Structure 1
């Protein structure tokens, strides 16, 4: 059970590790990245006139969508299943390509996957025959980083995500929350400027889900990592986002509302349940009104 007095020094130490180690690691990696266009932040995501239809289909999910996410900002894409939330993430990640318009990250048009843009899925997508440490090192090893250097980078991250005591354990023997922590450490090891989350916490129990939501949010804010979250959960959008964008299944409607959620994460509010409940009611009311408008 969590003991605030006992565990506070441990949490402070993790924050210290994150600030000192990851900050230095990101600075070193950025020196070797491609040159960005003038005026573009390292983690800026920009969508201009985007349209997208499924291959071999005339069904358009988006028509002329435009959106800008500033470096270090966290946004949520909130909407029902089938409205195109995940497809939009795939376009940002370079796993799909627009039918029209453009998606740019770090000032560069997205033409394929990049180690600077990391996608976390609902399933942790770990290699079941590898250990925690080996899985967390996998992305670095794929980038030709030596085993010794990869381990040096990853071990502090495993401490950060509370898995340092399990580094030799096979990931098949971990809980769902622990597996997502391995995936998070693997993502952070790549020093991304943008993280894309496709409902990675939806299958977890409530306590683990809220804990991971808060940890990911804190890590990304501290390291100025841009965060784009896909969800159909009002509370998750409220807990993790500066802005919330509501999407609809109606063809051509794309993003139908934008909600400023930045006040929810003001240090004085501490995202308490009263604040979450108030914002939840506001979103639910707005969502109901939108659905009625599109049914007319």
Structure 2
């Protein structure tokens, strides 16, 4: 059974004859008659009474007519949805998410909803290396990631940068900065650094360690192990002097006896990781939303 056979059935029924149906369909009458007979043979039914000048549906034809119309409507709906997916206006965007800072992700999703109301977003939260692996395998369409400058098989599209902060004991001489001047890495070179293991977040670990080499400095002595940010900050407040480096997720953690200083010339870049090549339609819509969110408002620089 072919869709065109059902379309011919509907046209003949509505026009009351094979000739008028052929005119409506812009094909020859013999093609309409031939396809309708093939449909009748396949179904084992006579669909039209051909004994009079005006062709009429048989009882079987009357019963099947609404089904044929429903199938044709479903096919048309399938074509429409496919066109919307091709345009990136409908479908599912499988997106790897990243925590904070601020409300950027929510603003991006709101802009995307304005651009493509029918596009559903399925967020996945996972470790950075896993997010990249899921994009590379095709399990995710795109993912937000921090830190990496290059990943084989993926394109990294820089979106925005956020400052990095040093957390150190509030009583340490470097903790006070009346003018808010950022700390330079050289000022911290003598202080043991609590840095999360590379296995926890390779891009961030490499970003921090590379910063010392870029600045022409020897890395600081390793401090006690980094566990979680909250536990590490609590230990920094009470243990012998040490420090850690981090980026904001939901504001600076309010930990007693710990001070925060921004680091000079050291930021972490958030990028959108996509597979190399032309991005799929849903990702193109996401890029449009990101452009809207990142563009300055009218009248601002």
Asked if these proteins are the same fold (TM beyond 0.5), I'd say no
Q: TM-score, normalised by structure 1?
A: 0.19
Q: TM-score, normalised by structure 2?
A: 0.19
